């Protein structure tokens, strides 16, 4: 095993994130999810301050702006759309959108784990970390047949995960960062 592989394996075990030079800069931007609570205010407009819940359909409602799609978007995108819609009534509105609670950012771990359930994630979390949050696997778990279920564009896909490979320091790329709504299934 190379020194690089050993270092990467130890980094994964310790929960550290290796630095990747060609990483997608948008990957670090939090995308809103249904269940998140936002604080929205318009500077100088006392009546335009509100705590707003992102609805299950992904939308929010705000006075004078009406309906705005929030789920899947960055806070800055929602700010820009609200400012654009409010500009019909307020010249050059300064809109601030802040995240109060990110309760929509959850993953699920089910099957032969010690504590199956729903787990809120407030930072990038990979499969191994989610399994640790679930208290690890039972002795009867089929560690080589774990799947991550992910919905993309309305379609459900299964991403294979072999814990035995991770234990041996091989195929570390399969230890993907989970997205909100992912389900880790341990048969």
pLDDT digits (tens, 9 = 90+) for 71-90: 999 999 999 999 999 999 99
Contacts of 169 (CB under 8 A, 6+ apart): 1, 5, 6, 8, 9
Q: Flag whether pLDDT at 18 surpasses 50.
A: no
Handedness of CA 19, 20, 24, 25 (dihedral sign): positive
Q: What is the pLDDT of residues 128-180, one digit of tens each?
A: 999 999 999 999 999 999 999 999 888 999 999 999 999 999 999 999 999 98
pTM of the model: 0.69
Domains 31-102 and 105-186 fall in the same CATH topology:
no
pLDDT, residue 7, reads 39
Helix (H, G, I), strand (E, B) or coil at 180: coil
Neighbour tally for 154: CB within 10 Å:
5
105-186 homologous superfamily: Outer membrane lipoprotein wza domain like (3.10.560.10)
38 is written with which tokens? Answer: 């936002």
Q: What is the mean pLDDT of the chain?
A: 87
Distance CA 148, CA 109 (A): 9
Query: Are the C-beta atoms of residues 12 and 5 closer than 8 Å to each other?
Result: no
Q: Flag whether pLDDT at 9 surpasses 50.
A: no
**Residue written as tokens 């980094």?**
11
The predicted model gives 98-125 an average pLDDT of: 92
* % of residues, the chain, pLDDT over 70: 85
Distance CA 51, CA 33 (A): 15
Domain boundaries, the chain: 31-102, 105-186
Q: Flag whether pLDDT at 70 surpasses 80.
A: yes
CATH fold of 31-102 reads: wza like fold (3.30.1950)
């Amino acid at each position: 095993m190379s020194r690089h592989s050993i270092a990467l394996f130890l980094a994964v075990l310790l929960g550290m994130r290796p630095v990747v030079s060609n990483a997608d800069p948008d990957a670090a931007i939090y995308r809103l999810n249904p269940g998140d609570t936002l604080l929205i205010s318009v500077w100088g407009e006392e009546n335009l301050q509100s705590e707003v819940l992102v609805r299950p359909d992904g939308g929010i409602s705000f006075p004078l702006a009406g309906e705005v799609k929030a789920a899947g978007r960055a806070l800055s995108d929602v700010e820009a759309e609200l400012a654009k819609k409010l500009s019909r009534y307020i010249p050059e509105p300064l809109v601030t959108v802040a995240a109060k609670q990110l309760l929509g950012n959850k993953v699920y771990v089910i099957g032969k784990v010690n504590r199956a359930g729903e787990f809120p994630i407030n930072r990038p979390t990979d499969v191994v970390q989610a399994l640790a949050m679930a208290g690890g696997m039972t002795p009867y778990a089929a560690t080589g047949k774990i799947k991550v279920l992910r919905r993309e564009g309305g379609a459900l896909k299964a991403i294979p995960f072999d814990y035995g490979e991770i234990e041996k320091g091989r195929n570390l790329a399969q230890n993907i960062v989970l997205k909100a709504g992912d389900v880790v299934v341990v048969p």
